Chains A and B, each alone.
Chain A
Amino acid sequence: DTGVSQDPRHKITKRGQNVTFRCDPISEHNRLYWYRQTLGQGPEFLTYFQNEAQLEKSRLLSDRFSAERPKGSFSTLEIQRTEQGDSAMYLCASSLGLATNEKLFFGSGTQLSVL
């Protein structure tokens, strides 16, 4: 599968613990996006990168959240001191990074459960 891959698929953690997710975009895709999806809702934008630069962060991304894309390839999303409200599906998407004719392709997500 040469699509967007995310790891792990599922993560169960206790409240207060830190978790880190990884996303590998489609190769040659310059843009990488993180979204959060709760049950029965559409995905909500969290942040995005153009190569290694983080260009925008949603107000949904509290100080406990940090994302990196150090070499412009894979990205990590870390949540510190997890809370039960963080339980959700975390989706990654990538695109070529063109100003026009853009299409976003999603990974299968990491399902986070905070107990």
Chain B
Amino acid sequence: GENVEQHPSTLSVQEGDSAVIKCTYSDSASNYFPWYKQELGKRPQLIIDIRSNVGEKKDQRIAVTLNKTAKHFSLHITETQPEDSAVYFCAASIQAAGNKLTFGGGTRVLVKP
């Protein structure tokens, strides 16, 4: 089955700096890669996703890149703000096979004011 690894497990950045989280996946058939943000005690919230036919996607301060050959994808947050502090999870799935997400272990991001 699919295995998703995520690094780093914790990330501390100064407000205004950029944050980068990296994930690798094992199943070359995976074609959907969402990112979720989870604040303490709250639901995972979808913040951005990318499909395998696209190499990069951007939404305001958030961008995701995908390298299918290397089987890795990354989340980039620019101009970080204190409200970006949360745990971020990457995931991978095969959309036509039930879209069952396999999650990485999470990255705890702390943005220091």
Contact = CB atoms under 8 A, between A and B. Distances in A.
Interface size class, chain B: 20 to 34
A104 B34 contact: yes
B54 interface: no
A95 B99 contact: yes
Contact of B101 (A41, A45, A101): A45
B43 A109 contact: yes
Interface of B: 4, 6, 32, 34, 36, 42-46, 49, 89, 91, 95-96, 98-106
Contacts, number: 58
A104 B99 contact: yes
A91 B103 CA distance: 13
Interface residues of A, number: 27
A102 B32 contact: yes
B44 A91 contact: yes
Contacts of A41: 105-106
A107 B103 contact: no
A3 B44 CA distance: 12
